[in-house]
Amino acid sequence: MKNNTVNIRQKIINGETSLGIELGSTRIKTVLIDNRFETIASGSFEWENRLENGFWTYHLEEITTGLSAAYRDMKQNVERNYGIAIQSIGSIGISAMMHGYMAFDNKGNLLVPFRTWRNSTTSVAANKLTDQFQFNIPERWSIAHLYQAILEEEKHLPHIDYITTLAGFIHWLLTGNKAIGIGDASGMFPISESNQDYNESMVKQFDELIATRGYPWKLKDILPTVYLSGEQAGSLTEVGAKILDKSENLQPGIPLCPPEGDAGTGMVATNSVRKRTGNVSVGTSVFAMIVLEKELSIVSPEIDLVTTPSGIPVGMVHANNCSSDLNAWIGLFQEFYEAMGRKVGVDELFTVMLNKALEADPDGGGLLSYGYFSGENITGLEEGRPLFVRSPESNFNLANFMRIHLFTAFGALRIGMDILTKEENVAIDRIIGHGGLFKTPIVGQKIVAAAMNVPVSVTATAGEGGAWGIAILASYLRNKNPKESLEDFLDKKVFSGVEVQEMRPDRLDVKGFETFIERYKEGLVIERAAIDNLIKNGRD
């Protein structure tokens, strides 16, 4: 162990490391890895989005404060464990929640508060652009946010000099370079597979669409430059180093890989970048990414067409709501436990409660739940009202209660996946699961396998998450062989020998979920009635 500590210490001194930073919906995480892709140290900062003036947002000062706090936490762990202050890092990568809207003027001022992916306020713009392009433009996409602002004639529009995503903003902050990875870019505006850049014909269509508005910019002028995985997208500046490391030990000049979205880093973290592979990412939202062999035959609002960090087309099914309601119920049970004068850790409580779902009736005993904290585009709902519903005949017990809240977390996702697998006949060789749900053995895999009716695997690295995934992309920039593809780099270097645990769908679970999903679809009128009749703040 002592020799290993000395060895890692030397790697840190030599800069044989890569740092990944990911800004997720509830946590900013930093992961420092060595040149064997093993985690040396990590740090985090907890935060939460807020609903202000009708938009889900994070304040700009929260973003920068959280960024430096997460780095400081990682840095202190290195100092504590290895007795050395970090001065250099081999390479750095930035990742964050995809989509959303950050607009800046020519002095770098944020023109309107950051509008995150969670907002479902752009349906008119998204529908119009989908019709215009004959290409699905989801409400979350940056171009939908921009066009909605145009339709509403927002005052900031003539002053726009640059629009980007959260990852693109942080990268710009640290490097001064207005760059974006192709995977993250594909959640801003459609990408052309042939030229691996923004679709030129659609860019032209958009400019023509808004030509009479008289804005002093063209779309391509205000979008970040697209980069592919493995390319250097900038270097850490002196200003950037001071933002990241308040102690000013970190030296500038470190190369950065292209900034990527959490979908791309999830694909990397699960080795799901080859065609016919896929992954399911479970968190505040849930999405499945399936790398496609061929173009889809129809334009479907339930399917986003994005790309891997290398530019390969991906069918993405994204549901806005997943774990928030489940987390809220677990919090309620924790309150009860503490009211009884007991103490219990959150991880232990999750383990106990999730495992109760394994004792449940296959369909959840006739119970029904919608964990809609926000709107859900797949089911056509512009707002959310978390609901739990049962009939007098339902088998209401703790096991069924937990099972139904797990089932409903994947309800909207399943509706979208049916389009890919049943209507488009998309072939999937393997699905890898990642996210907090899979930290509890068996339960997460079993539920997702039932919901998707495909084998679901978890790797020993899947729990590392997107911060580890972007650290791998940063390492790819530094350690790849000439012309070595990302797919080969992952297969032959990163994941060679990594343990994979696969779980096949249980017949009874699949049948139970089928019963549930029909109940889920039929009950959507209840959710609609709640939206129409239950005021958000509970007051008239």
DSSP 323-386: SHHHHHHHHHHHHHHHHTT----HHHHHHHHHHHGGGS-TT-TT-EEE--SS-BTTTTBSS---
pTM: 0.83
Q: Is residue 87 part of a domain?
A: no
Q: Does residue 295 share a domain with residue 354?
A: no
Transcribe 217-286 into DSSP letters.
--HHHHSPEEE-TTS---B--HHHHHHH-TT--S-S--BBPPPEEHHHHHHHHTT--STTEEEEEESSSE
pLDDT for the residue numbered 137: 95
249: which residues sit within 8 A by CB, 6+ positions away?
Answer: 75, 85, 86, 87
Q: Is residue 69 part of a domain?
A: no
Q: Does residue 435 share a domain with residue 328?
A: no
Q: Is residue 258 part of a domain?
A: no
Q: Does residue 437 share a domain with residue 317?
A: yes
pLDDT(3) > 60: no
| Bridge partners (DSSP) listed for residue 458 | 501
pLDDT(261) > 90: yes
State both tokens at 458.
């978890």
Q: Does residue 445 share a domain with residue 302?
A: yes
3-class SS at 414? helix
pLDDT for the residue numbered 189: 98
pLDDT for the residue numbered 463: 60
pLDDT(538) > 70: no
pLDDT for the residue numbered 297: 85
Instruction: Give the domain range for residue 429.
Output: 270-321+413-503
Percent of the chain at pLDDT exceeding 90: 82
Give the CATH number of the domain where residue 488 resides: 3.30.420.40
Which tens digits make up the pLDDT trace of 43-55?
999 999 999 998 9
pLDDT(480) > 60: yes
| Distance in angstroms (rounded) separating the CA atoms of residues 415 and 427 | 17
| Distance in angstroms (rounded) separating the CA atoms of residues 211 and 216 | 10
Q: Is the dihedral of CA 420, 287, 182, 457 positive or negative?
A: negative
Q: Is residue 351 part of a domain?
A: yes
Q: Is residue 154 part of a domain?
A: no
Which tens digits make up the pLDDT trace of 325-344?
999 999 999 999 999 999 98
Q: Does residue 424 share a domain with residue 317?
A: yes
Which tens digits make up the pLDDT trace of 182-194?
999 999 999 998 8
pLDDT(240) > 70: yes
Q: Does residue 462 share a domain with residue 441?
A: yes
Which tens digits make up the pLDDT trace of 389-435?
999 999 999 999 999 999 999 999 999 999 999 999 998 888 998 87
What is the chain's length? 540
Which tens digits make up the pLDDT trace of 134-184?
999 999 999 999 999 999 999 999 999 999 999 999 999 999 999 999 999
Q: Does residue 490 share a domain with residue 360?
A: no
Q: Does residue 511 share a domain with residue 370?
A: yes
Q: Does residue 423 share a domain with residue 400?
A: no
Q: Is residue 516 part of a domain?
A: yes
Q: Is residue 31 part of a domain?
A: no
| Distance in angstroms (rounded) separating the CA atoms of residues 431 and 36 | 25
pLDDT for the residue numbered 540: 38
Q: Is residue 384 part of a domain?
A: yes
Q: Is the Cβ–Cβ distance between 146 and 163 less than 8 Å?
A: yes
Q: Does residue 477 share a domain with residue 346?
A: no
| Distance in angstroms (rounded) separating the CA atoms of residues 462 and 431 | 12
How many structural domains are present in the chain?
Answer: 2
| Bridge partners (DSSP) listed for residue 72 | none
Read off the pLDDT of each residue in 46-72 and give the average, rounded to a whole number: 94
